[in-house]
């Protein structure tokens, strides 16, 4: 490798560590050693330091040990003509720089708490775009996309392109390939993120264009995201640096794009990224590191033209990306799913409570369907003025020898994602509460309502072609026709819901596995039955059945449950045998219906986590969107970090939101009557189903007996509330046996 690269990286690391030492000393003098030091809402402390060194940085004084390690990692400066093995020294220098920068950014949160925005969205109108460290809610929500493959990796872009137009070209090319783009560092007075804003591109987590910060030190937020994925989804233990780094190389496909002049501090950060197996691809003529070793292929590649930047980066990282062209006039891909069409940008709006709207997928006879036919019945976009509203009914008819009624809702549920993938189109909700917004820029490019049908036809064939042969779409905007379709669609929804509601675990001999999350949590095996949906909330039994039909070698495999070993707890020999093999011999048995005795494994993708509250003789559950404290003494992030690596953890279990109101929810421990606390936002979300289940268990007012954070967040407070309302858990046998 080049002596010049090593020289620059090592010099840059010395500069960074020295700068952070100065900031640390000033902070100690100003705030004192007990000043709390943390990134907002994370159970992983400062995640790079925690994962690599195992040090829990909770207050300013804790950072002193980290900086001491940084100084010990700094290698000697390169002097004279004597040859040394540069790569090892360069890697150490890079690691020292990264660890020090994480301390620096944590101190920034203390000194300027408003520097970074909280949440997923940028405030472009007020000139605030920097999002800083992703909290654990964002990390788990977005981390799922790295698990299921909808986000194959991320590009960490430092610096700025020559102009906003080139920045937009590079960003949209990555978006089309479904990658995330993490941005930091300035070049010649601007940044890549600011260039995108200038070019009219929406930035934020929703569009996968994430502006972390204006300085090179913000690169540590990208590595922190990757390291938390290793701990949360992969179950890697803090301090096991070798496994953390290998996990990221093998499972998190990331790379650095250095745009513009590369100084010594940038070189140090690039060297740091190589430790994780993340190579750097630059547009300038910098010394290269071409031999393989730490990274999959080359470590540093230079002088890459901007129109070849994405292709070269993907090649060097060894990333496999599948992109399918859809016959529409706007860009298309999952990266556009979170894009918002704001009120002033709307050309046409449908549904959302403002006009009648519904979506329906129906099976049809082969003779009734003309494959690829798309009809718009009523006014299309060209027939209305900007800002107009229309009623809408999207009716898809599919036909095929393998098509079944059970597949209708699976296909219908995909409409939300598939339409949202079109740039400039926003879709919210589903069924008869769907809401469409079509932006002015999309219309300017030629988008019409007919293109919604073209999207569904193309993607259904691509993703579900194994189960049907022909597909046609009718899009109604004529008010009379839409009003005729809505009650027909509502009748179909009701019939489907009753079909899955009527299924029981006892009456079903075949369950289904889901090992999708094993790419991040290798020992996690989800088994899905009619009365226990997948813990991520994305799969029920019918979904898995359809998935297996579509992809017989995929993650959803049929499992013959076999002999019943324990009917109360939900334990079957066939399930245990499958789980033992699929978990790489790590899990020999677990119970479907218990939180106390060998509960099912949990991964970081779970929608909710339940925990036993011994004093209350019951359980609490918390959804991942709730960021407050719970009566277990832990927030969701801490709970997930403790049990979310594919572990069997008695007293805790991950589950879906829907599972709470399924009849088998912790049935082996007493069932729904054990539920004593949940966040108000979650309670309100499933209120209707909770009320129905309360009536079924003979306690019509049960929903009012469940405490929320408004009643307390400690066991003592919750116990007092339970006594006041006469909660049944207090008179049940001990939950701990």
Q: How far apart are the first and last CA of the chain?
A: 64
For position 354, which CATH number holds? 3.30.1650.10
In this predicted structure, the answer to whether residue 75 has a pLDDT above a threshold of 70 is: yes
H or E stretch covering 469: none
Please indicate, yes or no, whether residues 537 and 485 belong to a single structural domain of this protein.
no
Does 430 share its domain with 576? no
Q: Evaluate whether residue 322 is within a structural domain.
A: no
What's the DSSP call for residue 26?
A: H
- What are 31's two structure tokens? 């705030």
Segment 307-323 shows an average pLDDT of 85
Considering the domain boundaries, does residue 327 fall inside one? no
CA 646 – CA 666 distance, rounded (Å): 19
One domain for residues 491 and 531: no
Mean pLDDT to the nearest integer, 480-484: 96
Number of H helices, E strands in the chain: 21, 27
> Do 627 and 137 contact (CB within 8 A), yes or no?
yes
| pLDDT tens-place string over residues 144-174 | 777 667 788 999 999 999 999 999 999 999 9
User: Number of structural domains, the chain?
Assistant: 3
Q: What is the mean pLDDT of residues 184-205?
A: 95
Please report, for residues 42, 63, 137, 482, 537, the alpha-carbon distance to residue 605 in angstroms, rounded to integers and kept in the order given: 16, 31, 11, 38, 9
CATH of the domain at 559: 3.40.1470.10
Give residue 334's pLDDT. Answer: 83
Backbone angles phi, psi at 658, to 5 degrees: -65, -30
Q: Is the pLDDT of residue 1 over 70?
A: no
Which contacts qualify for 692-698: CB closer than 8 Å, 24 or more apart? 692/661, 693/661, 693/663, 696/663, 697/671, 697/672, 697/673
Where is average pLDDT lowest: 24-28, 39-43, 138-142? 138-142
What's the whole-number average pLDDT of the chain? 91
Q: Which contacts of 688-693 are long-range, i.e. CB under 8 A and separated by 24 or more positions?
A: 689/658, 689/660, 689/661, 690/660, 690/661, 692/661, 693/661, 693/663
- Our measurement of the distance from residue 171's CA atom to the centroid of its chain's CA atoms, rounded to an integer in Å, reads 20
Whether residues 456 and 385 share a domain: the answer is: yes
Is 736 within a domain? no
Q: Does residue 290 have a pLDDT over 80? A: no
Is the confidence at residue 82, as pLDDT, over 70? no
Query: Same domain, yes or no, for 481 and 589?
Result: no
Higher pLDDT among residues 217 and 625, named by residue = 217
Question: Are 253 and 349 part of one and the same domain?
Answer: no
pLDDT of residue 101: 98
Mean pLDDT within 265-269 = 96
The answer as to whether 523 is a domain residue is yes
Structure tokens of 437? 């917004």
CA of residue 386 relative to chain centroid, distance = 34
Q: 435 and 388, same structural domain?
A: yes
Asked if the model's pLDDT at residue 116 lies above 90, the reply is yes
More confident residue, 14 or 321: 14
Residue 737 lies in a domain: no
- Considering the domain architecture, whether residues 238 and 261 belong to the same structural domain is answered as yes
Q: Do the domain assignments include residue 503? A: no
Q: Which range among 121-125, 413-417, 591-595 has the greatest average pLDDT?
A: 591-595
Q: Are residues 522 and 485 in the same domain?
A: no
Domain CATH number, residue 272: 3.40.50.2030
In a domain, 323, yes or no: no
Asked if residue 462 and residue 548 are part of one domain, the reply reads: no
In angstroms, the CA 9 to CA 1 distance is 12
Taking alpha carbons only, the member of 629, 378, 333, 398 closest to residue 481 is 378
Tell which wins on pLDDT, 236 or 221: 221
Residue 228 resides in a domain = yes
Note the Cα 257 to chain centre separation in Å: 23
Provide mean pLDDT across the span 108-130: 94
Packing angle of the helix pair 264-275, 3-31 (nearest 10 deg)? 100
Q: What's the CA gap between 234 and 159, in Å, rounded?
A: 31
Same domain, 356 and 308: no
Residue 150 φ/ψ, nearest 5 degrees: -70, -20
What confidence tens digit (pLDDT) does each residue in 514-543 have?
987 776 678 889 999 999 999 888 778 988
Three-state secondary structure call for residue 304: coil
- Long-range pairs, 576-579, Cβ under 8 A, ≥24: 578/513, 578/525, 578/527, 579/525, 579/527
The last residue of a domain, from among 498, 520, 544: 498
Tens of pLDDT, residue by residue over 526-585, are 999 999 999 888 778 988 888 888 778 888 899 999 999 999 999 999 999 999 999 989
Q: What is the pLDDT of residue 540?
A: 86
> What is the average pLDDT across 216-241?
90
Q: Which has the closest alpha carbon to 272: 93, 125, 415, 116?
A: 93
Domain range holding 525? 510-731
d(Cα 185, Cα 395) in Å, to the nearest integer?
Answer: 48
> Domain boundary residue among 473, 498, 523?
498
Q: What's the whole-model pTM score? A: 0.69
pLDDT (0 to 100) of residue 500? 73
In order, the DSSP letters of 400-445 are -TT--GGGHHHHHHHHHHHHHTBTTEEEE--GGG-EEEEEHHHHHT
Domain closes at, from 317, 345, 377: 317
Token pair listed for 730: 């207090």
* Same domain as 431, residue 343: yes
């Amino acid at each position: 490798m080049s002596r010049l690269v090593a020289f620059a990286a090592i010099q840059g690391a010395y500069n960074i560590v020295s700068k952070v030492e100065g900031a640390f000393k000033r902070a100690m003098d100003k705030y004192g050693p007990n000043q709390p030091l943390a990134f907002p809402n994370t159970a992983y402390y400062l995640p790079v330091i925690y994962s690599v060194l195992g040090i829990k940085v909770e207050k300013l004084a804790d950072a002193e040990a980290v900086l001491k390690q940084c100084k010990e990692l700094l290698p000697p400066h390169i002097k004279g003509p004597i040859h040394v093995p540069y790569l090892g020294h360069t890697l150490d220098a890079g690691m020292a720089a990264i660890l020090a920068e994480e301390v620096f950014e944590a101190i920034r949160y203390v000194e300027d708490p408003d520097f970074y925005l909280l949440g997923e969205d940028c405030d472009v109108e007020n000139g605030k775009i920097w999002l800083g460290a992703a909290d654990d809610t964002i990390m788990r929500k977005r981390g799922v996309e790295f698990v299921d493959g909808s986000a194959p990796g991320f590009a960490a872009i430092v610096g700025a392109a020559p102009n906003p137009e080139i920045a937009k070209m590079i960003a949209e090319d990555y978006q089309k390939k479904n990658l995330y783009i993490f941005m930091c560092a300035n070049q010649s007075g601007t940044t890549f993120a600011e260039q995108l804003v200038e070019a009219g591109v929406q930035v934020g987590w929703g569009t996968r264009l994430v502006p972390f910060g204006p300085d090179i030190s913000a690169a540590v937020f990208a590595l922190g995201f990757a390291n938390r994925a290793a701990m949360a989804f992969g179950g890697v233990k803090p301090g096991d640096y070798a496994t953390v780094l290998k996990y990221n190389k093998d499972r998190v496909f990331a790379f650095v794009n250095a745009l513009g002049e590369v100084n010594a501090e940038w070189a140090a950060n690039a060297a740091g990224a190589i430790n994780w197996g993340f190579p750097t691809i630059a547009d300038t003529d910098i010394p290269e590191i071409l031999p393989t070793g730490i990274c999959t292929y080359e470590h540093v590649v230079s002088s890459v033209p901007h129109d070849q930047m994405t292709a070269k980066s993907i090649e060097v990282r060894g990333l496999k990306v599948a992109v399918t062209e859809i016959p529409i006039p706007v860009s298309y891909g999952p990266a556009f799913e979170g894009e918002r069409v704001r009120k002033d940008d709307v050309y046409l709006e449908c549904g959302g409570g403002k006009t009648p709207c519904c979506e329906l997928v129906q099976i049809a006879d082969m003779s009734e369907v003309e494959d690829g036919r798309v009809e718009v019945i009523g006014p299309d976009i060209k027939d209305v003025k900007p800002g107009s509203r229309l009623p809408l009914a999207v009716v898809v008819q599919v036909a095929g020898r393998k098509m079944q009624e059970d597949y209708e809702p699976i296909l219908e549920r995909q409409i939300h994602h598939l339409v949202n993938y079109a740039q400039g189109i926003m879709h919210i909700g589903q069924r008869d509460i769907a809401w469409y917004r079509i932006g002015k820029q999309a219309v300017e490019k030629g988008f019409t309502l007919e293109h919604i049908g073209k999207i569904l036809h193309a993607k259904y064939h691509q993703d579900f072609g194994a189960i049907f042969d022909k597909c046609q779409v009718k899009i109604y905007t004529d008010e009379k026709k839409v009003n005729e379709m809505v009650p027909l669609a509502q009748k179909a929804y009701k019939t489907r819901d009753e079909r899955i509601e009527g299924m029981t675990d006892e009456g079903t001999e075949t369950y289904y596995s889901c090992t999708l999350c094993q790419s991040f949590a290798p020992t996690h095996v989800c088994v899905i039955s009619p009365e226990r949906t997948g813990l991520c909330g994305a799969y029920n039994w019918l979904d898995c059945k359809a998935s297996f039909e579509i992809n017989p070698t995929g993650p959803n495999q049929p499992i013959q449950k076999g002999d019943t070993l324990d009917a109360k707890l939900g334990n079957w020999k066939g399930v245990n045998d499958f789980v033992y093999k699929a978990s790489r011999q790590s899990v020999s048995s677990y119970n479907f219906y218990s939180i106390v005795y060998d509960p099912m494994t949990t991964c970081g993708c779970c929608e909710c986590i339940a925990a036993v509250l011994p004093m209350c003789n019951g359980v609490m559950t918390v959804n991942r969107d709730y960021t407050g404290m719970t009566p277990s003494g832990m927030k969701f992030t801490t709970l997930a970090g403790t049990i979310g690596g594919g572990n069997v953890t008695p007293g805790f279990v991950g589950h879906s939101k829907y599972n709470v109101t399924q009849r088998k929810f912790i049935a082996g421990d007493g069932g729904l009557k054990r539920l004593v606390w949940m966040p108000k936002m979650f309670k309100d979300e499933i209120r209707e189903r909770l009320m129905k289940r309360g009536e079924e268990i003979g306690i019509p007012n049960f929903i009012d007996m469940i405490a929320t954070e408004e009643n307390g967040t400690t066991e003592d407070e919750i116990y007092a509330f339970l006594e006041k309302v006469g909660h049944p858990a207090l008179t049940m046998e001990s939950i701990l046996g």
